[in-house]
Amino acid sequence: MKRNMLLFYTSILMTTVLALAILIVNPPRFDLEVFFVFIFFFVLTLGAEAMPVRLPRGDGSVSVSFAIIYAYILLYGISLGVLLATVGTLSKREITGKVAWHAVVFNRAQLAVSAATAGYVFLLLGGQIGYLDLTFSNLIAITVGGFAYMFVNATLVTLYLALLEKVDFTRMWLYNIQWAIPNFAALIPLSYLIAVIYDITGVPGLILFLFPLLLARHAFQRYMDMREVYINTISSLTRALEAKDAYTYGHGDRVSFLAKKIGRKMNLSESDVEVLGYVGVLHDIGKIGVKDGILNKPGPFTGEEFREMKKHPEIGAEILKGVSFLGNGSKWVKYHHERLDGSGYPDGLIGDNIPLGARIIAVADAFDAIMSDRSYKKARGLDFAVRELEANVGTQFDGGVVAALKAVLEDPESAKQVIERKVPIDSAVMAMAATVEKGEGDSHV
């Protein structure tokens, strides 16, 4: 077994042992009333978990189950809270075997450890179970306890994913924490509210309170769906465009895959890496505005035809300009045919004036073109492609980017994927949620 996988399984085992130890030290005790209340919170948590809002990028999802679990901890203590976190968060996908077994085990364990940490931190800061008065010290205890949950949850999930996908832990952790802080900042007050409303009004009041929340969730999901539909629509347009020409089929996906690998090697932030993934697929979307006759022409272009073809980066940037979550991505599309010496198009930018994202796409794009059969040329091998890129460092390509590509190709697994040219279609990878859904078999990094 490779060292990485050994570490991976060890981390699952250690988390599980820790979770079991917590349950043994704090065995949950029930009387009939406590049992019925537990069942009520259990159903609520299952419901929240069954209706997560799926994020359009990668494998993440957000659910409000944390708010319910933490409220329950504040009301009933650590041992019952840990039990609720463990059994209440099982999702349908996990129960029906769609998630790898070790992900299911790991999720149970990491959620138990997170819930226990929240409870202990709350108690340590002077909080008392069932005491919900709005005093300053109580608010501090509740808030810090909630963020402790977030910290442990994000750290363990990141550890799992970083080991599984062999990506840099720190960078992924920072990205996940950045993403989680605003979420938990909203969910911790919600926890407190749930606890107080339950304390004052019991089950009926809590149901009444949660109903409008469900409606809000529905609206949020619709918004997320729309973003996803939008990005899928443009991606399928690109693929349709590629399908017209048997030679370029899959080009966008391969450029996307490579560009992200290069971006990670160059220590770009995870959000920039994600945008690289999208821009890789979409970089030639502007060819939609170029006449078919020119697009599919096998022979060399006339001057007029070339001028027409050179419009595609700007058309593409125009199409993507309105997509707010692509950030600078539309600029990268616009400048992916610029060259370092200023002889590229559309603006003839020189050196560092060309955005780094665009310089990365340019290298990934050229590399894939050399490695592919085209109507006017045969595919060349890996060594030839690398030599060709190196020969044009400084004039056409960025030396740092080409060096990063070479480093990517040194990893035998990436090199194999590049040579076999089979890149997963859904290559936009970034995951963060309260749970993981990835197993060994479906990792795409």
Q: Which residues bind Fe ion (CB under 5 A)?
A: 284
Which secondary-structure segment (H or E) carries 54?
A: strand 53-54
Please state, in angstroms and as integers, the Cα–Cα distance from residue 196 to each residue in 49, 68, 74, 120, 192, following that order: 22, 12, 10, 20, 6
Nearest distance from C-beta of residue 100 to Fe ion, angstroms = 38
Nearest distance from C-beta of residue 290 to Fe ion, angstroms = 10
Q: Closest CB to Fe ion among 94 and 284?
A: 284
DSSP state of 321: T
Q: Closest CB to Fe ion among 88 and 316?
A: 316
Q: Closest CB to Fe ion among 212 and 298?
A: 298
Is 333 buried (19+), middle (13-18) or exposed (0-12) by CB count in 10 A? buried
Q: Closest CB to Fe ion among 284 and 338?
A: 284
Give me the helix-helix angle, 412-420 and 382-391, nearest 10°: 100
Nearest distance from C-beta of residue 286 to Fe ion, angstroms = 8
Q: Closest CB to Fe ion among 227 and 321?
A: 321
- CB-CB neighbours of 378 under 10 Å: 7
Q: What are phi and psi of 62, to 5 degrees?
A: -115, 130
Q: Closest CB to Fe ion among 331 and 438?
A: 331
Nearest distance from C-beta of residue 222 to Fe ion, angstroms = 34
Nearest distance from C-beta of residue 273 to Fe ion, angstroms = 21
Nearest distance from C-beta of residue 361 to Fe ion, angstroms = 9
Output the residue with the shortest Cβ distance to Fe ion. 284
Which secondary-structure segment (H or E) carries 6?
A: helix 3-25
Q: Closest CB to Fe ion among 314 and 442?
A: 314
Please state, in angstroms and as integers, the Cα–Cα distance from residue 310 to each residue in 165, 179, 243, 294, 359, following that order: 38, 38, 21, 11, 17
Q: Closest CB to Fe ion among 279 and 356?
A: 279
Cβ proximity of 357 and 328 under 8 Å: yes
Nearest distance from C-beta of residue 333 to Fe ion, angstroms = 9
Residue 188's closest CA among 340, 78, 72, 71? 71
Residue 165's closest CA among 112, 103, 110? 103
Nearest distance from C-beta of residue 308 to Fe ion, angstroms = 13
Q: Closest CB to Fe ion among 274 and 284?
A: 284
Nearest distance from C-beta of residue 76 to Fe ion, angstroms = 60
Which residues, including other chains, have CB under 8 Å from residue 271's CB and lie 6 or more apart? Answer: 175, 327
Which residues, including other chains, have CB under 8 Å from residue 38's CB and lie 6 or more apart? Answer: 30, 76, 80, 83, 84
